[in-house]
Structure 1
Amino acid sequence: MAKNSVLGYPRIGADREWKKALEAYWAGRLEEPQLHSALKDLRLQNWRNLQERGIDWIPVGDFSYYDQVLDTAVMFGLVPPRFGYEGGTVPLSVYYGMSRGTKTAAACEMTKWFNTNYHYIVPELQGVSPVLTENKPLLAYREAKSELGIDGRPVLLGPLTLLKLSKGYDPSEMDVWLERLLPLYVQILQELADEGVAWVQLDEPILVLSLEEPDLRRLKYVCETFAASVPGVNLMLQTYFESVDHYQEMISLPVGGIGLDFVHGRSGNLEALRAYGFPADKVLGAGIINGRGIWKAPLRETWELLKELQTYVTPDRLLLQTSCSLLHVPVTARQETQLTRELRDALAFADEKLDELVFLTQALGQDRESGVIAGKLEENDRIHAALAQAEARNRGDVQQAVAVIREQPLDRSLPFAERYKAQMARMQLPLFPTTTIGSFPQSAEVRRARRQWRTGELSESQYAAFIREEIDRWIRLQEDIGLDVLVHGEFERTDMVEFFGEKLAGFAFTQNGWVQSYGSRCVKPPVIYGDVAFTGEMTVEETKHAQSRTKRPVKGMLTGPITILNWSFVREDIPREQIAYQLAYALRQEVEALERAGIGIIQVDEPAIREGLPLREAEQAAYLAWSIRAFRLATCTVRATTQIHTHMCYCEFHDMIDAIAAMDADVISIETSRSHGELIGSFERNTYTQGIGLGVYDIHSPRIPAIGEMTAMIDRALRVLDPRLFWINPDCGLKTRNSEETVLALRNMVEATKQLREQHAFTR
């Protein structure tokens, strides 16, 4: 019979126990032994759940104290010298220093994991020599077996992906680094073989990208080295997030199995199977359950897919899997009791996906017309039909309005150079205007007031008064610090996407649908299940209040259509492009309302535009075209003297400069401090002629940056960027920092700016 497996399971716990333990440890409320104990309990609970639900091949080693890529780096001793690591097992102080920074050392760069909402820590290879500090997969395997009797499948990030995602070495040194790492990988595999491990999941998601011949040669060399050195272990060469381009080369590799994504990469991988078949001596890991979406699988359609797969591989060599790790979805839908019936019935979080896998595995060898199977398929059909027929998905007014405006011109009334001059004159801004990205610290008092308002302990008027007081306090603080363009602080907002979703039609919200974004930062993405529509002003009241308290300009703060799209769980019955235009039309109405209220600067953030970029190069231009169109649709109707800002963070933008310029924002702020100014190199190679602010310090780290650090970074940027168009700001919003850190860092930022203004006084 066929077997089943998952590629990974959410580490955060059904009630975010993982997050709470980490943050208690960082705050000093939990000692290190207590942290280890709490995370072990959660790890065992996860394995026990997989075991009891009927998963055959249970992954071990996918659990992490922060991030799986960081885990691999420290396992190989890849610790940057600035953290003072002296060898041996990497202590937690160094591990968390790499991810969060210390008072003396900047954190390692953080960026998006392929095209997902998850962030990983980028390994740094410069100045380090790899050595095996501990065999993490072996430790996980032993724990699962001794505690629960589980003969698990260790998960190991492959050397090709590890090197491709790392920094600090020249591409010409790729083979040198491969030779350094391979003996360590062999040692890991040999120790696993000695322990009796039969299968290892070797994750190489880099294989779904367009690889050139040298990388294919390296892949072949890696697999041949493993096969010759450790013949006792079968490798499941695992890919996900897309189809593979080099299928023929992959199926000829000396591995025990190959894992392919038949959800996001369905058409490409099926086409390859139909053309070249599948080797009779390998296991096919078929990713048939969507590991990134929250909707129940279309079981009848999936059944037909499995029937076709069985024409290429016998049942005993077919492994039914999730398309990727379930890290990207919430843990369980059993707590979602407040949604409409048709929506609740259609949800499948991690645990529900396990049930789907088990059902399909058990049903595969049976007659589809048998009572239990036929009933299950009919129930699944009914659930999907009920959601499709829901009134929220069939709003003719929205669909007609969007069809009209998407065909209209999306140009501003004046070209950038003319309107920017008029904007700066209207606002009377100095050289190097200083500002922040939008949010200020969400203190315990802010969170408590919001909780009391939601539970009815505070009335609407009492809560509104509290928010106004917080706005007033931070307006005074910003003026005292010396910022030029102020923000209201976003104290009324929990999350930059959830806040807007709660005020737009077509959205639903889960009670406990949390997923990990980075580190202990968990988000609860909204669910876009219907047609999106504007229902009334969302941000005008707070922004107007802030502006009434100061003579300095206050920015209106909105989240852009593509970020709302990419940071939500999205309906799958219509193209994402169509949803983006619905969002853009709704946001346009808010932009226009802010302008009518006298707000002269409006920031429409798009931090997630890059992460929605398709992995396949052939599909990227089309995505960027409609993403840019959606942004312009939301912003193009304002007057020339109204300044449009946007913000992007933690992504590789070197190949997107033209697309960013095409958005036609007057000012864009981009993260650069955590990547140690590397983004500046993009502007050394590419011309950018609109307003820009490169973040001068990392808001995800508790350290207070020195003035000299900031001026050095800005000086380099000003070699290639026009000082008259240059803004100075932090990397991102400040909601996760405390007030003391925020004020001290911003004072240093303003002081650095004053020094620069003196140096560049002639530029005025």
Structure 2
Amino acid sequence: MSALLPTSIVGSLPKPTWLAEPETLWAPWKLEGDALVEGKQDALRIAVHEQRTRGIDIVSDGEQTRQHFVTTFIEHLSGVDFEQRETVRIRDRYDASVPTVVGAVGREKAVFVDDARFLRQQTDQPIKWALPGPMTMIDTLYDRHYKSREKLAWEFATILNQEARDLEAAGVDIIQFDEPAFNVFHDEVQDWGVAALERAAEGLRAETVVHICYGYGIKANTDWKATLGAEWRQYETSFPMLQRSIIDTVSLESHHSHVPMDLIELIRGKKVMLGAIDVANDEVETPEEVADTLRRALRFVDADKLIPSTNCGMAPFNRDLSLAKLSALSAGAEIVREELVVAAV
């Protein structure tokens, strides 16, 4: 692994077309039974191979074994009924049919541990596993039981902590919590959101990441971004609290966004996983474009704390496009890496 500027992806990679419908979120599986189990493992093995051959240093599963970054975790919990569905507004942006919380939520057994153990067997590089954060989980459900977003978030935080501890025991080096909801519900972030996130990460020896983005490159998200004006300052709410939190790394969207780069100063001292690849654009970045984004960030984060990454997951892309973007990410990081080595001589 590159000691300086280790590269990583945020979450998803496109699944093989034989496993799931391409370029689709919540894509249904094309296999079932034992064939599905085998197909998921094959896809995970391919995802690891593709990351390694394209110079990605911190390897993840590319979310090959799950349909969706939030609901796949939730469907393994008790107290949630997937037959009783309601239409809710997700992150105040788009309507989706979601399951209903009908009783006390609980985790009867580990959800992702077998998959994580399989990932661990595929590589000796550091591995990262993503879990949904408590606030993003409650925003992807209809709650008929607790009738309190905060109460339900705390319940999920405890469950996530159990899962994270099991993932750590399975050999996961870095555990990432996805909290795109932090960019929308600013009052809740301050009142209990960061505290619930810390509860999810409590007692872990593995490194922890919180990923806060502006969403996948789907129309509902790009339309919302178009309303945010010339400067996107949503991170100003959460960053000062995250800087004081137990979370090790903050992952943010940057390339082609309107996020002012100087907001990174608000998390000085934390590791920064910087989105240097746009996931809402079909054009492949040049290595020099990636390098430029990283250079601008280095004014606000020390080089030994910068992790070049993608803005968000790439599930909606075709595979060739996503892999070309991975190559651009690692090539751009290498340019800056060499510059830093020369400057240090």
Tell me if both proteins adopt one fold, taking TM over 0.5 as the criterion. Answer: yes
Residue 246 of structure 2 is matched in structure 1 by 664
Q: Does 1:451 align with 2:46?
A: no
Give the whole-Å Cα distance in 1 for the aligned partners of 2:30 and 2:252. 35
Change (3 A) 1:590 1:512: closer
Describe how 1:58-457 pairs up with structure 2 within 5 A.
430-447=3-20, 450-453=28-31
2:66–2:72 CA contact under 8 A, matched in 1: yes
Match for residue 748 of structure 1?
Answer: 328
1:584 corresponds to which residue?
A: 157
Q: For residue 663 of structure 1, give the secondary structure of its aligned residue in structure 2.
A: coil
**Superposition deviation, residue 606 in structure 1:** 1.4
Q: Look up the SS of the partner of 2:181 in the other structure.
A: coil
| Structure 2: gaps spanning 5 or more residues | 22-26, 215-231
Q: 2:192 aligns with which of 599, 603, 626?
A: 626
**Residues 352-751 of structure 1: pairs in structure 2 closer than 5 A:** 430-447=3-20, 450-453=28-31, 458-459=32-33, 461-510=34-83, 523-571=96-144, 573-613=146-186, 620=187, 623-639=189-205, 642-650=206-214, 652-676=234-258, 678-683=259-264, 686=266, 688-751=268-331
Q: Which amino acid aligns with 2:298?
A: L
Give the AA of the match of 2:278.
D
Aligned length: 320
Moved over 4 A (4+): 510-518, 520-523
Task: Report the aligned-residue RMSD.
Answer: 2.5
What displacement does 1:754 show? 0.5
Distance in 1 (CA, whole Å) between partners of 2:87 and 2:316 is 17
SS of equivalent to 1:444: coil
Q: Please tell me the residue identity of whatever aligns with 2:212.
A: M
**TM superposition shift of 1:713:** 1.5
Query: SS in structure 2 opposite 1:603?
Result: strand
Larger Rg, first or second structure (1 or 2) = 1
CA distance in 1, matches of 2:6, 2:74: 31
Contact 2:274 2:308 in 1 (8 A): yes
Q: Would the alpha carbon gap of residues 720 and 760 (structure 1) be closer, same or farther in structure 2, given more than 3 Å must change?
A: same
User: CA contact under 8 A between 1:653 and 1:679: conserved in structure 2?
Assistant: no
Deviations 1:111-158 (A, max 9, x none): xxxxxxxxxxxxxxxxxxxxxxxxxxxxxxxxxxxxxxxxxxxxxxxx
- Could you say if the C-alpha distance between residues 528 and 572 of structure 1 is closer, same or farther in structure 2, counting changes exceeding 3 Å? closer
- How far residue 688 of structure 1 moved from its aligned partner, in angstroms, is 1.8
SS in 2 for 1:645: strand
CA distance in 2, matches of 1:630, 1:742: 33
Q: Distance in 1 between matches of 2:86 and 2:142?
A: 10
Following TM superposition, by how much is the alpha carbon of 1:564 offset from its aligned partner in structure 2, in angstroms?
0.3
Contact in 1 for aligned 2:86/2:98 (Cα 8 Å): yes
**In structure 2, distance between residues paired with 1:545 and 1:593:** 14
2:225 is aligned to none
Q: How far has the Cα of 1:590 moved from its partner? A: 0.4
TM-score normalised to structure 1 length: 0.40
Provide the rounded CA distance (Å) in 1 between the counterparts of 2:277 and 2:210. Answer: 18
Q: Residues 763, 634 of structure 1: CA spacing in aligned structure 2 closer, same or farther, 3 A cutoff?
A: farther
Identity %: 25
Assess, with a 3 A threshold, how the Cα gap between structure 1 residues 467 and 730 changes in structure 2: closer, same or farther. same
Residue deviations 1:316-339 (CA, integer Å, cap 9, x gap): xxxxxxxxxxxxxxxxxxxxxxxx
DSSP 3-state at the match of 1:745: helix
Question: Which one has a larger percent helix, Structure 1 or Structure 2?
Answer: 1
Distance 2:135 2:167 in 1: 20
SS of equivalent residue, structure 2 residue 98: coil
Q: Distance in 2 between matches of 1:708 and 1:509?
A: 46
The farther-off stretch of 582-591 and 699-708 is 699-708
Distance 1:653 1:471, change over 3 A: same
Q: CA deviation at 1:649?
A: 0.5
Gaps of 5+ in 1: 1-427, 614-619
User: Take 2:283 and 2:90, find their aligned partners in 1: how far apart are those partners?
Assistant: 21
Q: Quote how far apart the aligned CAs of 1:610 are.
A: 3.0
Once the two structures are TM-superposed, the CA of residue 638 in structure 1 deviates from its matched residue by: 1.4
Alignment match, 1:341: none
| C-alpha displacement of 1:522 | 6.9
- Contact 1:537 / 1:593 at 8 angstroms: preserved in 2? yes
Counterpart of 2:284, as a letter, is I
* Rounded Cα–Cα distance in structure 2 between residues aligned with 1:521 and 1:501: 20
Q: In the TM superposition, what whole-angstrom CA distance separates every residue of 1:420-460 from its partner, at most 9, and x where no partner exists?
A: xxxxxxxx65111100012110343222695345xxxx32x
Contact 2:44-2:65 at 8 Å conserved across structures: no
TM-score (norm 2): 0.85
Which residue type is aligned with residue 243 of structure 2? Answer: A
